């Protein structure tokens, strides 16, 4: 075997067959990547839940305005809804109903 062929043979990565085990580092890396994806999805879901809650609660405050005749502007209704959602999300674990 010439020098170039020996160099390429030394640099070639060995392939795993059925009898060899994948290193634990690879499993750990895969687990960390999956956990990161799940955290990102959960954060996106929490943000969408919060936005829906703000919208629903602001509509409820507006119903009180029309039902009871209270002087609440749309901006005040939105602000009150954001305050309520902030408190709900800090005190409770809120999940989407299936």
Q: 10 and 2 in contact (C-beta within 8 Å)?
A: no
pLDDT at residue 57, rounded to an integer: 92
Residue 69 pLDDT exceeds 80: yes
Residue 4 pLDDT exceeds 80: no
Work out the mean pLDDT of the chain and round it to a whole number.
80
The model's pLDDT over 8-56, given as tens digits with 9 standing for 90+, comes to 665 666 666 656 666 777 778 888 888 888 888 888 888 888 899 999 9
pLDDT at residue 8, rounded to an integer: 64
pLDDT at residue 30, rounded to an integer: 82
Domain ranges of the chain: 36-98
């Amino acid at each position: 075997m010439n020098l170039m062929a020996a160099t390429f043979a030394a640099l070639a990565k060995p392939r795993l067959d059925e009898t060899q085990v994948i290193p634990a580092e690879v499993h750990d890396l895969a687990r960390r990547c999956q956990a990161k994806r799940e955290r990102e999805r959960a954060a996106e879901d929490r943000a969408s839940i919060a936005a829906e809650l703000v919208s629903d609660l602001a509509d409820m405050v507006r119903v009180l305005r029309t039902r009871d005749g209270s002087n609440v502007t749309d901006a005040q209704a939105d602000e009150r809804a954001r305050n309520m959602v902030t408190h709900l999300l800090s005190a409770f674990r809120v999940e989407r109903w299936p």
